[in-house]
Amino acid sequence: MKRLFERKPNIVLVGFMGTGKTSVGRRLASQLRMRYVDTDDIIERDSGRRISNIFSEDGEPAFRDLESDAVCKASKLYNHVISTGGGAVLRETNMKVLKQSGIIFCLTATPEEIYRRVRHQSHRPLLQTPDALAKIRSMLAERKPYYAEADYMVRTTGRPFREITGYIKHVYAKNTRGSKR
């Protein structure tokens, strides 16, 4: 069903860590002449702290509260590509405001591919564990129903960026034909 937006809707990217939200989002924004915003960046900018410090000092629930504030802020923008943290889908209220602000695309990848992409990175507190692949598998299974709330699922494993952005742009154009900026 087509939703009604007062202005041209945002493109909202959700999806597990390492599914390419930042890389795809930045490319989309530049190709479509839209602005790019990332909820993790909003959290770090507003709090003046790194995500990993928020997790280690205050715990995950405190991080989720800051994340909801950031999601609300981002949802008020327009003509933006909004990239969200992998767990933003977990709160129903986040999904509700995101749905009002744009079309939600969930980027997906296989657990093995996610592991390959993130294994040398250290900025994601939830994956700092000896068996990161097992953790990725179990978190993906837990979060599956939340990611399924997105409007469109977009596979990224083995697909070039050109194809991924091409698909999203095509769907976005189809959904926004006739709407004002």
Residues that bind ligand S3P (CB under 6 A): 17, 21, 40, 51, 85-87, 124-126
User: CB 132 → ligand S3P: shortest distance, Å?
Assistant: 13
User: CB 72 → ligand S3P: shortest distance, Å?
Assistant: 15
User: CB 148 → ligand S3P: shortest distance, Å?
Assistant: 16
User: CB 123 → ligand S3P: shortest distance, Å?
Assistant: 7
**SS3 annotation, the chain:** CCCCCCCCCEEEEEECCCCCHHHHHHHHHHHHCCEEEEHHHHHHHHHCCCHHHHHHHHCHHHHHHHHHHHHHHHHCCCCEEEECCCCHHHCHHHHHHHHHHEEEEEEECCHHHHHHHHCCCCCCHHHCCCCHHHHHHHHHHHHHHHHCCCCEEEECCCCCHHHHHHHHHHHHHHHHCCCCC
Nearer to ligand S3P (CB atom), residue 110 or residue 125: 125
Nearer to ligand S3P (CB atom), residue 40 or residue 74: 40
Nearer to ligand S3P (CB atom), residue 125 or residue 149: 125
Nearer to ligand S3P (CB atom), residue 8 or residue 77: 77
Nearer to ligand S3P (CB atom), residue 126 or residue 132: 126
User: CB 21 → ligand S3P: shortest distance, Å?
Assistant: 6
